[in-house]
Amino acid sequence: MKQYSYVAFISQTSPGDFIVTFPDVPEAITQGDTLEEAYSNASDALSAALEGYLEFGREFPNAIPPPEPEMMQLGHHSVLVAVEPAVAARAMLTHAMKAQGLTKVGLAARLKRDEKVVRRILAGKGASLDLTLEALRAVGLRPGLFA
């Protein structure tokens, strides 16, 4: 089972300036005036970058394990950041559809809905999480295992 959490490195570059980077998702970068603000912004940056992966049909990168604390340099922090559930659910759905050779029209038929509904789910626009979970069940995934 693919993990949907990524290591973020938070570095203080100067007083009141903390930079967040993700070694596995180089497109995700953010900052904060405090360590807490930087950490808070990390989830948004990660989700925005991974939305781009979904939009361009790219697989999410494999996550590396977090480094041991003694391996971190002074002034650097390592934290694990979870992907927002809606983004992770869409990634799982996209992966399952690809593995099954299932088209948007095919998924729509399984859901007994119009293909536009499937497009909204996959685009993350105008589709409820309940509808996304219904689509996951339609491809044979049990969403309760991912909560």
pLDDT digits (tens, 9 = 90+) for 75-112: 578 888 999 988 999 999 999 999 999 999 999 999 99
Same domain, 68 and 108: no
Which pLDDT score, from 0 to 100, does residue 129 have?
A: 83
Asked whether residue 63 falls in the same domain as residue 21, the answer is yes
10-residue stretch averages of pLDDT, the chain, 147 residues long: 81 92 95 93 95 90 72 68 90 93 96 94 84 93 62
Backbone angles phi, psi at 65, to 5 degrees: -70, 150
Six-digit token string for 105 = 């029209």
**Distance in Å from the first CA to the final CA of the chain:** 13
CATH of the domain at 11: 3.30.160.250
Of 97, 94, 25, the C-alpha closest to 62 is 25
Q: For all residues of the chain together, what is the average pLDDT? A: 87
Domain of 100 in residue numbering reads as 86-146
Residues 100 and 127 in one domain: yes
Q: Do both 57 and 22 map to the same domain? A: yes
Token look-up 């781009």 returns 52
The CATH number covering residue 98 comes to 1.10.260
42 and 96 together in one domain: no
Closest CA to 38 of 22, 17, 7: 17
Identify the three-state secondary structure at position 111. Answer: helix
Answer yes or no: do 70 and 10 share one domain.
yes
Q: What's the pLDDT at 118? A: 94
